[in-house]
Chain A
Amino acid sequence: MVKRTVAALVAVVVVGFTAGLAMPQDDALRIAVEGAYPPFSETLPSGEIVGFDVDIARALCAELKAECEIVDQAWEGIIPGLLERKYDAIIASMSITEERKQVVDFTEKYYESPGAFVGTKDVAVEITVDGLAGKAVGVQGATVSECYVESNWGDIVDLKRYDTQENANLDLTLGRLDLVFADLFTLTDGFLNREGGDAYEVKGGSIADRACMGEGIGIAVRQDDDVLRERFNAAIRAIRASGVYQEINAKYFPFDLYGAAP
């Protein structure tokens, strides 16, 4: 009796183990989101996480016919958590940059996050060497925006670095700055659509600069996980082709987030 139970237990454990080892990636795929970057990802008072990133994650899972678990993870620890195998992928509006590529692999972009100059409607500004010469431009320090303005216009503009984007926007309204440069979606949501933002506008359209802003926003996976990466790539193309992507896009933004084909 005892012997048989032990044998059964051993069998269960062994079977379980081999099943675990052989378990294909699409069984309970764990995906980390940030939960604090509206409108891409935000946590509702009920605890539910919603947003563009989350919808894309669910659509990709449906495409992969995988069971998915959405994991909420703070931004600072999001890459270490992936390396520690707390989850298998990061879908959290992460820019594909050279530094990050040293530690993780990225899929193709699933959207592009261009930057833009914003200034007061009263003054026309051309985004050219002549138009920008001597202008006071505010950026948030240590961002792709700082990199872009510094490397492209650093010699001719008066570049000011701020601790937060809010403080840069504030100095624009106070008249200390002629322009701010930041992520277009952040500026639209966090400034132009807010109270007092209607006196300001985007100058010269959106700007995508590969050298600083990377190749767009991608899904991060571990470097040894080529299978998962390729499956995500196929799924991104599939939801683009089926129209699921466009549906999600329209839910959040009145314009195409994807940008030009890679």
Chain B
Amino acid sequence: MLDLAFYQKIAPTLLDGAAVTIGLMAVSVPCGFVIALPVALARVSANRFLWAPAYAFIFFFRGTPLLVQLFLIYYGLGQFAVIRDSIAWPLLREAWWCAVLALSLNTGAYTAEILRGAIQAVPHGEIEAGRACGMSPALIYRRLILPKAARLALPAYVNEIIMLLKSSALVFTITVIDLMGAANLIRSRTFRIYEPLVAAGALYLAMTFAVTRVAAWVESALAPERRPPR
């Protein structure tokens, strides 16, 4: 059952796959955040022309499976000659960029909802206080609402990053050899199922552990008052 030599043999392939997974996450998470922030601000706006498109975006990307989104972007978009002739094609031609696009849009929608909840959870009294001090709305956002919302959103946001990490295992279906893809490759070459999947599971676990450690550090940095007294 514990064939160490075999694990040693498959390690390079799996680590290559893990590097691809980490690369996808390193690009998709920041891109998703950049998408989420304006969407969340638009979503809490009273202006219908701002919140309606934001609502539609969140509704679509939260309401459909990531696998459908991946296939739509990878196989679906390529069907249209307009897109194949466009300047975006050199990127969309590559499976890796299609994966980044799908993961970013997907996590962008979820993160926008997390941020919206956090923004709306900022106590009204704090905003009133800002107004009473003569702060402009932009300054209230920058100094009061966003810092507070960031702290409120953090646990849910970390959850979302972990969910995205695990969902990224779907990208092997569009020819990206990520960690899951590497495990599948080994599985089909060696007819061994148990070892590559156990090893891939362990590597995913290690990655989630790293994410939670970083998150715990950020959380304590953002909330000095909750740190245990020294």
Contact = CB atoms under 8 A, between A and B. Distances in A.
B84 A174 contact: yes
Contacts of A99: 191
Contacts of B78: 171, 174-176
A14 interface: no
Given A99-B191, A174-B75, A175-B84, A161 B185 contact: yes
Contacts of B189: 142
B73 to A, nearest CB: 12
Contacts of A160: 95, 175
Nearest to B94: A176
Interface string A181-203: 00000000000000000000000
Contacts of A174: 75, 78-79, 84
A85 B55 CA distance: 61
Interface string B77-91: 011000010000000
Contact of B75 (A146, A161, A167): A167
Q: Is the interface of A mostly helix, strand, loop or mixed?
A: mixed
Interface in B149-208: 173, 175, 177, 184-185, 188-189, 191
Contacts of A224: none
A161 B173 CA distance: 9
B93 A176 contact: yes
A141 interface: yes
Interface in B54-86: 75, 78-79, 84
A160 B177 CA distance: 9
A142 B84 contact: no
A142 B75 CA distance: 22
Contacts of A167: 75
Nearest to B191: A99
A84 interface: no
A141 B188 contact: yes
Given A160-B95, A174-B75, A175-B84, 13 more contacts: A99-B191, A138-B175, A141-B188, A142-B189, A146-B188, A161-B175, A161-B177, A162-B175, A163-B173, A171-B78, A171-B175, A174-B79, A176-B93
Interface of B: 75, 78-79, 84, 93, 95, 173, 175, 177, 184-185, 188-189, 191
16 contacts: A141-B184, A141-B185, A141-B188, A142-B188, A142-B189, A160-B175, A161-B177, A161-B185, A162-B175, A171-B78, A174-B79, A174-B84, A175-B78, A175-B93, A176-B78, A176-B95
